[in-house]
Structure 1
């Protein structure tokens, strides 16, 4: 656990907690507004959360060579997460554009 300083650990852990809370809040927003499209965004956020958890696990065990596979998983989940978030954002934008046209 000495791989990172205490302040850096605080940032890592708070980032994971903030991301978890953001997923939960978006899920609740989807329920409140009855708009299932927002659930897609919550699901799209999960790979990025997995990526962050991989990074924290890697650092928690002092970056051992035996766990180098976590670095690959973390990088892959970052790529997947960026793609899923872009898709979810596009779907939300598209659904809003459709709704806006219906109002006019």
Structure 2
């Protein structure tokens, strides 16, 4: 726990909690609009949350070399998160364009 200052810990924890709140907000927004694409976006946000939690875990144990694999896992989950978010955003755009073309 000594690797990070108390204000830095506060930012890390607040960021994780904000991300959880954002996932819930995106999910709720999609439900209110009746658009399932938003649900996929909220699910696509989960790997980034896992990444953040892995980073916090690594810092919690003072960044030991024995947990270097956790850093690799964190990097991989960041990559997966970025890819899933890009796909989910593209899917939202695609669904929006389809709904604009649909006859009313």
TM-score range, shorter chain: over 0.9
Number of residue pairs matched?
A: 104
> Which has the larger displacement, 86-95 or 26-35?
26-35
- Alignment partners' CA distance in 2, 1:11 and 1:103: 48
| Superposition deviation, residue 103 in structure 1 | 5.7
- Alignment partners' CA distance in 1, 2:35 and 2:102: 16
RMSD: 1.2
- Alignment partners' CA distance in 1, 2:22 and 2:89: 15
- TM-score normalized by the length of structure 2: 0.95
- Which residue in 1 is equivalent to 2:51? 51
Structure 1: where are the runs of 5+ without partners? none
1:39-84 CA-partner distances (Å, limit 9, x unpaired): 0000000000000000000001101122111100000000000000
Structure 2: where are the runs of 5+ without partners? none
- Alignment partners' CA distance in 2, 1:8 and 1:83: 28
Equivalent residues in 2 for 1:3-18 (5 A)? 3-18=3-18
